[in-house]
A = this chain, B = another copy of it.
Amino acid sequence: MAQNIYDDPDFLAGYSQLARSVSGLDGAAEWPSMRALLPDLRGCRVVDLGCGFGWFCRWAREQGAASVLGLDVSEQMLAHARAATGDETIAYQTADLETLELPPVLFDLAYSSLALHYVEHLAPLLTTVHRALVPGGHLVFSMEHPIYMAPSRPEWLGTEDGRRVWPLDQYLIEGKRLTDWFAKGVVKYHRTIGTTLTLLIRLGFSIRHVQEWCPTAEQVAAKPELAQERDRPMFLLVAAQR
């Protein structure tokens, strides 16, 4: 089973303070870019892989989705998600993305925000997702960018000549990464962009869009600390189609 760090009390307490937890989709700087990759949701049957507090599930219904299935490994987050809506066309289920099963040819959109980098074995999951989509169905996801995840010490480094650089190493060495983020020993799995995209293609997906997310000038003006994101990407956004 995948690590369930989101039910670690310290982790959940910290994570719950993030803008994306407090304010939902609009608290996530990359959301406008993700939103631009989505199809028209009216009438869509949607599955959200790693739905967390359920912000996207509720938003998808507001956009006219016919049915929304939110999946997460965190019981506590699902409890919050369930408490936040009485909408009977949204269902929340406990699911481990490492061993996920889904009914075939049933969904128009599979969505996932910042969850897939916790998954060790992406091929079985994406095989399941491909089969669960109708032909022409969409897969839109974000994950931590491999540049962000790769380094042995993923922290900004000051140089003698005054630069602030991202100390990249072991980029082409894929596999487990341990970091401390709200809790010690958070487990993530590093894969290159090439590995992820070529896997999608091999499974029968067409790649529709690949975006290494960059804050806009307006976002940096409103929140100057976002400027450093221009030096190394934090998020990878991908849209694909069955």
Q: Which residues of A contact B (CB under 8 A)?
A: 147, 151-153, 157, 159, 163-173, 192-195, 197-198, 201, 206-212, 214, 229-233, 236-237
Least CB separation from A202: chain B residue: B209
Q: How far is the CA of A214 from the CA of B190 in the complex (A)?
A: 15
Please indicate the chain B residues that have their CB under 8 angstroms from the CB of A166 in the complex.
Answer: 167-169, 171
Closest 6 interchain pairs by CB? Answer: A165-B167, A172-B214, A166-B168, A169-B231, A194-B210, A194-B212
Assess A165 versus B157: contact at CB under 8 Å? Given A193-B210, A211-B198, A212-B194: yes
Q: How far is the CA of A194 from the CA of B207 in the complex (A)?
A: 11
Report whether A231 and B168 are in contact in the complex, using a CB–CB cutoff of 8 Å. Answer: yes
Report whether A201 and B207 are in contact in the complex, using a CB–CB cutoff of 8 Å. Answer: yes
- How many copies the complex holds: the figure is 2
Least CB separation from A170: chain B residue: B231
Partner of A165, one of B151, B195, B229: B151
Least CB separation from A167: chain B residue: B165
Report whether B167 and A230 are in contact in the complex, using a CB–CB cutoff of 8 Å. Answer: no
Q: A147-B168, A192-B212 are in contact. List 5 more A-B contacts (CB 8 A).
A: A165-B169, A166-B168, A194-B212, A194-B237, A197-B197
Please indicate the chain B residues that have their CB under 8 angstroms from the CB of A172 in the complex.
Answer: 212, 214, 229-233
Please indicate the chain B residues that have their CB under 8 angstroms from the CB of A198 in the complex.
Answer: 209-211
Report whether B230 and A173 are in contact in the complex, using a CB–CB cutoff of 8 Å. Answer: yes
6 A-B contact pairs sorted by A residue (CB < 8 Å):
A157-B157, A172-B212, A172-B231, A193-B210, A201-B208, A206-B207
Q: How far is the CA of A210 from the CA of B167 in the complex (A)?
A: 24
Least CB separation from A173: chain B residue: B230
